[in-house]
Amino acid sequence: YQIKDLAQVKEVPQGQIGFVKSDGKSALTLAIVKQADARMSDLKKEIHQLTETFRKDYPHIDFTITRDQTALLDYSIDNLTQNLLVGILLACLVIFFFMQDFRSPLLITLTIPISLIITLLCMFVTRISLNVISLSGIVLGVGMMVDNSIIVIDNITQKWDKGEKLKTAVIKGTNEVFTPMLSSVLTTCSVFIPLIFMSGISGALFYDQAMAVTIGLFSSLAVSLIVIPVYYYRFYKKQEKRSRNRFLSRFHLMDYEKIYENGLKWIFRHQVLTWGILIGMIAGSCGIYLVIEKRKFPPITQNDLLLNIEWNKRINAVENERRTSRLTDHLKPLLSQYTVMAGSQKFLLSHTKENSVSEAIVYLKTVHPDSIPVLKEKIRSYLENNYPEALYSTESSGNIFDMIFAEKEPTLVARIRSINGKSPEPDLLNQLLRSIRDKLPSIHIEPVAWQEVVQLLTQPDLMTLYGIDYNRLFYKLKSAFNENRIFYMNEGEYSIPVLLGEEEKTLQHILRTTTVKNDAGIDIPLSLLLRENRINDLKNIISGAEGEYYPLQLEVKEKNIPDITRQITAVVAADRNFEVSFSGSYYSNREMIKELSAILVVSLLLLYFILAAQFESLIQPLIILSEIGIDLFGALFLLWICGSSINIMSMIGIIVMCGIVINDSILKVDTINRLRKEGKGLLKAILMAGNKRLKPIIMTSLTTILAILPFLFTGNLGADLQFPLSLAIIGGMTVGTIVSVYFIPLGYYYIYKTRQS
């Protein structure tokens, strides 16, 4: 006999367990995963060349690149480069108007390209790549790079204006500021060192930025001490004395020296009021810290997202695709591109979570980021109205920053576990969740992700009675459900499975009509041997150190979390079948802020020891560091008023600000000390030092602020990350400049007036 004489032989397509649709059309999707040692730019070039080749070779097929992270990186790096150029331009304009001379600003502008070249060379030697983080560090360092040159040139100019010969002025002016400049660079760099030792991957995030700033500052210090004095002498050696440019002299916008003198007189006349204002600012810092939002990372501007759907029903891939297509048709007016992955996908290298047949992942891209909130609302409305039992969540489509650093953690997670240590029982868990919903009616609590399990229970007594063994029954069931694969038939490069089965039928039809032969050759219906039992069970089992638990995820406002946790704990305690513990970003964010606060303390200690070594005093470093508590008000106030939050980037900005803002005070205290050693009285030394250092203090502060100002006006990955950091530095530097000009002299006077008397 041939097989066709004994059975019906058919070649049929394998049942689909997943679908992919791109912009509504059936598609194949390939995940391009970059190797660790490959360059992103090379990958992008090769992929685009290959895609163009495919389009020419297969004109009837559409090839589309989606979720292209190289485009985001290119855009971010281009914008950061543009910010770098704008920052340099703004810093140079400040220098031109303050110096009122073309040659001196030209000397300072030489510092930036030379320092940048040395910085990039050192980064190449130390194998630090030019990326979003390191480039942000370079932009941050640009404003500080010119500070050293400003101080050197201003000090040389003052010596020259007093009648000293040019060569002597160059030598004395450079030597005089070497120690405070070195101290300033060390204090700025010292605040970055503890950041490298942060726990987790956050430390790796700031390594590149810290190294970029550190290398840049030491490069600019070397240029200021070696290159600038030489070129200053070369530029001016033919002049008897320095003369201001008549054209630039017209742009004398304000008499800042007169404003300074009037302000200092007012401060010394109203000392009690001044101290009251300063104490009020410190108290204001504490108040703002308590009310401002706290989160781990700043929000990133995006125009796309991933929608994860669990239909929470026993559906097949075809029904999954139908439901998802209806949803995308509803959202289509807002979309420029979308890709649907419904059901199981079976990627060789999985770049997304593995889906079951009832799950779908939808990539949605809009034309503009402003459409994202509208898109999310339409998704929520459609799913809750049409499929209330479905579970869904939206997340970032996975930019480079999110893939590496972001933790997809809800604000609050109640970990509900059975007191007996076993997996939560469905009926008892549903009863508990209903009680929590009744207690917290204003909070959306998602339904539990269940899976329906069909159990076919054998009846051993009847199997023995009818003479049916387990193996025979098992193979009959496999054939009935078309799962009895007997061998593979190889045809060239293809391997075709051969199944022994029947026509597709429902479970009830199989139990009613299918029979199995016993040893006597009698057909026994399956309905006599099997009993059907349907149960609901948790689709996912999650376990931690405390055992198996059900994660009740809640997106709530942080200020309400203490009350919510208290109410949930009371409901669980009253139930007596479960116990609960809590986790989530609310807790991890606070741990991160504690860690950064500890780093801030370590940074302040490093600053104190460096300053104590420079001034050979234990008191003077306290005068300088005391201004940080006041400067925090400026940083926190600007963050709060601009709608930002305390996050890892703004905390880094505050720590960096602490290192930068005291540089002006270091120069002022050093100048006061030097004048007192020359025999000047305390009050006269304070007034003379203020006049002498006023212009460089204002210039260095403005160049630092203006260099990072472009971060506030551009929306891209790099700027979004640096936005809160820039706000913290700008706010702290603005207040810090005023404090350095007025408060430091007052504090110095209070401490040393008793010693002098």
Domain ranges in the chain are: 71-297+589-756, 450-538
- Max distance between CA atoms of the chain, in angstroms, equals 125
Measured CA to CA, the distance from residue 140 to residue 708 in angstroms comes to 6
Q: Rounded mean pLDDT of 120-144?
A: 77
Would you state the CATH architecture of domain 71-297+589-756?
Up-down Bundle (1.20)
State the number of CA atoms in the 13 A half-sphere of 630 facing the CB: 26
Paired sense of beta strands 547-554 and 542-544, if any: antiparallel
Whether residue 180 has pLDDT greater than 70? yes
At residue 505, the pLDDT reads 80
Question: What is the DSSP secondary structure assignment for residue 560, as one 8-state letter?
Answer: G
The residue to which tokens 């509208």 are assigned:
374
At residue 638, the pLDDT reads 93
Type and span of the H or E element at 472:
helix 470-480
Range with lowest mean pLDDT among 82-91, 254-263, 617-626 = 82-91
Question: Which pLDDT tens digit goes with each residue over 232-256?
Answer: 888 888 777 666 656 655 656 567 7
State the number of CA atoms in the 13 A half-sphere of 430 facing the CB: 9
At residue 326, the pLDDT reads 92
Neighbours of 203 (CB within 10 A): 14
Range with lowest mean pLDDT among 355-364, 384-393, 532-541, 743-752 = 532-541
Helix (H, G, I), strand (E, B) or coil at 464: helix
Type and span of the H or E element at 341:
strand 335-343
Q: Is residue 686 a contact partner of residue 203, using CB atoms and an 8 Å limit?
A: no
Closest-CA residue to 201 (of 147, 133, 259, 247): 133
At residue 254, the pLDDT reads 62
The residue to which tokens 């998602």 are assigned:
446
Instruction: Choose between 59 and 108: higher pLDDT.
Output: 59
Q: Is residue 707 a contact partner of residue 108, using CB atoms and an 8 Å limit?
A: no
Measured CA to CA, the distance from residue 410 to residue 17 in angstroms comes to 30
Question: Which pLDDT tens digit goes with each residue over 547-557?
Answer: 788 888 888 88
Q: Is residue 320 a contact partner of residue 358, using CB atoms and an 8 Å limit?
A: yes
Q: Is residue 698 a contact partner of residue 256, using CB atoms and an 8 Å limit?
A: yes
Q: Rounded mean pLDDT of 638-642?
A: 91
At residue 350, the pLDDT reads 64
Mean pLDDT across the chain, nearest whole number?
82
The residue to which tokens 């304070």 are assigned:
686
At residue 74, the pLDDT reads 66
Closest-CA residue to 176 (of 194, 157, 191): 157
Closest-CA residue to 728 (of 624, 631, 662, 663): 631
Q: Is residue 80 a contact partner of residue 719, using CB atoms and an 8 Å limit?
A: yes
* Structure token digits, residue 540: 């996912």
Phi/psi of residue 555, nearest 5 degrees: -100, 100
Closest-CA residue to 31 (of 45, 17, 47): 47
The backbone region for 198, taken as left when phi is positive above 0, alpha when psi lies in -120 to 50, beta otherwise, is beta
Please return the burial class of 313, using the count of CB atoms within 10 Å of its CB with bins 0-12, 13-18 and 19+: middle
Closest-CA residue to 151 (of 230, 95, 89): 95
Distances (CA, A) of 756 to 145, 177, 683: 38, 26, 11
Phi/psi of residue 562, nearest 5 degrees: -55, -40
The backbone region for 346, taken as left when phi is positive above 0, alpha when psi lies in -120 to 50, beta otherwise, is left
Task: Say which CATH class 450-538 falls into.
Answer: alpha beta
Measured CA to CA, the distance from residue 502 to residue 482 in angstroms comes to 6
6 contact partners, CB below 8 Å, separation of at least 6: none
Measured CA to CA, the distance from residue 610 to residue 368 in angstroms comes to 49
Please return the burial class of 138, using the count of CB atoms within 10 Å of its CB with bins 0-12, 13-18 and 19+: buried
Instruction: Choose between 242 and 270: higher pLDDT.
Output: 270
Inter-helix orientation angle 69-99/717-738, to 10°: 30
State the number of CA atoms in the 13 A half-sphere of 300 facing the CB: 24
Measured CA to CA, the distance from residue 173 to residue 160 in angstroms comes to 9
Closest-CA residue to 268 (of 698, 686, 697): 686
Range with lowest mean pLDDT among 103-117, 302-316, 317-331 = 103-117
Amino acid at 546: E
> What residues form DSSP beta bridges with 681?
none
Neighbours of 302 (CB within 10 A): 18
Helix (H, G, I), strand (E, B) or coil at 165: coil
At residue 637, the pLDDT reads 94
pLDDT-based confidence at 634, cuts 50/70/90? very high
Range with lowest mean pLDDT among 137-141, 393-397, 452-456, 727-731 = 137-141
356 contact partners, CB below 8 Å, separation of at least 6: 343, 344, 539
Whether residue 403 has pLDDT greater than 70? no
Type and span of the H or E element at 582:
strand 578-583
Distance of CA 150 to the CA centre of its chain: 35
Query: Structure pTM?
Result: 0.69
Question: Which pLDDT tens digit goes with each residue over 665-682?
Answer: 888 888 888 888 888 888
The backbone region for 440, taken as left when phi is positive above 0, alpha when psi lies in -120 to 50, beta otherwise, is beta
Whether residue 325 has pLDDT greater than 80? yes
At residue 731, the pLDDT reads 92
At residue 412, the pLDDT reads 87
* Structure token digits, residue 9: 């032989």
Question: Which pLDDT tens digit goes with each residue over 681-695?
Answer: 888 888 888 888 888
